[in-house]
Structure 1
Amino acid sequence: MRRLTTVAACAVALGIAAPAVAQTQQQNAASPDAMTVDLKALTKDGTGETIGSVTILPGDGGTSFQVQATGLKEGEHGFHVHQNGSCEPQDGTPGGAAGGHWDPDTAGTHRGPEGAGHLGDLPFLTADAQGTVDDTVTAPRIDDASRLRGHALIIHEGGDTYSDEPKLGGGGARVACGVIPQAS
């Protein structure tokens, strides 16, 4: 399973100075094609406080998601594009109105960001011991980031096995959500 590491780690491996990487990230976030999504903690009543943001950027190798979030438990967290542009609770499930994983090709299966399953299956995120995520992941199969508009991003409580067992990879509860803005 290919998983891209943080931009900073890639820079070190390539011998690029960290300030140059930070400047490139700032320029990318300012790109006219960039979309920024506020992430909010999910509660049984709706959304709570803002815990971070995601900057979505189109690229030659797919769509990148620059994630900065706090307040998560340490470890892996499933990360997905969901069908509906809502973070509201539904039937007692925080963020339930977001619906299931975005699956425009009706694959009907969960196979991860490189598999032939839901297009909304993104690389998992990893929170450090302080509950912070500062990572950039890439979804290589999402070649047109504009198709994401009007959908929700969800961070799950647990990791993701990229399989249908346990259900939807075992990510469990939805803990954070943000709605990708419609075109302006």
Structure 2
Amino acid sequence: MSRFLLLAALGLPLFSGAALAAEVVVPMTAIDSSGTGAALGTLVVRDGKGGAVVTPKLSGLGTGPHGFHVHENPSCGPKEQDGKPVAGLAAGGHFDPDKTSRHEGPYGHGHKGDMPALAVNGDGKATDAVTVPNLKVADLKGRSIVIHAGADNYADQPKALGGGGARVACGVVPEPKAKATKKM
């Protein structure tokens, strides 16, 4: 009898019309060579059918498309390069667990941390969600998300890593939380 009750209790969520979906809210801040600065808003990341869905709620960014990537380390601090502090360099390189060493964008077979461009409107706000097909919320644990000053061409030519330029915003990813959602 107790086995039946245990199995019934474990199966209840399957029949209740609810499921658990991973979700994480990443606070984003401006960064420069001296460290982190003003809060810019958040990114809400959840698992979707086609990959991770990233919904920005950001303001205070430059207008236009921005390179947007998951980086290897959970840090947004500056780090020295050639004797000078560089904004967000402590975040490390693009998240590349398969060691491809290729920058092919979110739909290629390169870095897993390559995300679609972040679109910023004329008011400096970004609110349009993007889907990252090669990524899940669980992949973000122990990482950071970086926004670059310019657009990303999803190639290593003519400039390495898409040519997005300086790192202008960053957020350290907190622990993902399970969130009950209704199935339709």
**TM-score interval (norm. to shorter):** 0.7 to 0.9
Identity over aligned pairs, percent: 44
Q: TM (normalized to structure 1)?
A: 0.80
Given the alignment, which residue of 79, 101, 115 partners 1:122? 115
What's the counterpart of residue 162 of structure 1? 154
What's the counterpart of residue 95 of structure 1? 88
CA RMSD across the alignment:
1.3
Which one-letter code corresponds to 2:172 in the other structure? V
Which one-letter code corresponds to 2:149 in the other structure? E
Count of matched residue pairs: 153
1:68-125 C-alpha deviation (Å, 9 max, x unpaired): 1111111110000000000000011110000000000001010000101000000001
Given the alignment, which residue of 67, 70, 79 partners 2:68? 79
Offset at residue 182 of structure 1 (A): 3.1
SS of structure 2 residue aligned to 1:155: strand
The gaps in structure 2 that reach 5 residues or longer are 1-19, 178-184
The gaps in structure 1 that reach 5 residues or longer are 1-30
Greater relative contact order: 1 or 2 (C-alpha under 8 angstroms, separation 6 or more)?
2
**Larger fraction in strand:** 2
Q: Is 2:41 the partner of 1:41?
A: no
Contact 2:24 2:174 (8 Å CA) reproduced:
yes
**Structure with bigger gyration radius:** 2
What's the counterpart of residue 153 of structure 1? 145
What's the counterpart of residue 108 of structure 1? 101
